[in-house]
Amino acid sequence: MFLQLWIGRHPYAPLVRRARKPRSPSSRPIACGLMDTSEAHAPPGPRDPVPPTWLQLAERVAGAGASVVQRYFRQPDLAVVRKADDTPVTAADREAEQAMRELIAREAPERMRRVLGEEGGGDDSDHATTDGDYLWVLDPIDGTKAFLGGKPTFTTLVALVRQREPVLGVLLQPITGECWTGAHGHATRMNGQAVQANRRRAQLRDAILCATTPHMFAGVDRERFFDGLVPRVWHTLYGCDAYGYALLASGWVDMVAEADLKPWDFLALAPIVQGAGGVITDWHGAPLRLHSDGRVLAAATVTLHEEALQALRHPRNP
């Protein structure tokens, strides 16, 4: 009953209701609708603001993938294939990424047509991300297990990388229609409204920590996470996938710590967290780049981030 009332009052309720029924391939793509400009822009420098038209393009790319995912959500006849690493993949993953790639090929400038995707692979070599070249990094369904379980915490992720650094990120939840965007020179927004990370819980012992699953931590990472960080926070939530970083950007949780991630899992999240005033790095405190090692720590404030880094570096027994 509570869920029904919440959906009925949610500002994006029309999107939620439409998502309950399969949609035809010709249905209009989901759109974040955050920017409205037709100005032309020269390519920005490494730290220049990202042109709003590029944000629009990234939103359309995410929307193209999310529209495909939406059609397959909670369809009982959806076939699942296990990849070599035992992670699941479905027709929804593959068709969504293909739709995203086709939109990039059709609408992106020539210098912005290289793509690295979770399902379709691509070029992540240095020459693809140096000088004036750009690389799109796509994850059509981040959280495929949540998607298969009927839990709407999976997301569609789009990152734009320049010189190995993510300069733009979009996170779109295909069922609720919630969409976060972050980019160099822009405040992070959720469906057009600026958001900010929570600054009220200033100490680690009061913080809410997120991670996708306890099983993502192995070996020394497991000791660092469970003996170092978890005992020092107030509460730990599991099962959010990339959605946890969106919750951090909007001020609902204070920290996310994860390991064993791939570039398409984390690159889109860096501009979103940073544009909301948060901090996001690897476990050594270095900025996230295309070839980072897959260990990610995000926090609402610099102080929380520093305390969490120290906890990860110096684990203790419970």
Annotated ligand binding at 85? The verdict is no
**How many angstroms separate the CA atoms of 273 and 193, rounded?**
15
Go through the chain and tell me how many residues it has: 318
The Cα-based distances of 216 to 21, 69, 220, 301 in angstroms read 33, 25, 12, 24
Token look-up 């020539």 returns: 110
> Count of alpha carbons within 13 Å of 275, Cβ hemisphere only?
27
DSSP 30-94: P-----------PPP-TTSPPPHHHHHHHHHHHHHHHHHHHHHTT-TT--EEE-TTS-EEEHHHH
Annotated ligand binding at 133? The verdict is no
Residue type, 28: R
Annotated ligand binding at 282? The verdict is no
**How many angstroms separate the CA atoms of 217 and 192, rounded?**
35
Extract the tokens encoding 51.
């042109």
**How many angstroms separate the CA atoms of 195 and 272, rounded?**
10
Helix (H) / strand (E) element for 198: namely none
Contact 170, 179 (CB under 8 A): yes
**How many angstroms separate the CA atoms of 238 and 4, rounded?**
24
First to last CA, the chain: 40
**How many angstroms separate the CA atoms of 80 and 93, rounded?**
10
Extract the tokens encoding 208.
């809410």
For 110, the 3-state DSSP assignment is helix
Annotated ligand binding at 258? The verdict is no
Annotated ligand binding at 265? The verdict is yes
Task: List residues forming the annotated binding site for Mg(2+).
Answer: 118, 139, 141-142, 265
Task: List residues forming the annotated binding site.
Answer: 118, 139, 141-142, 265
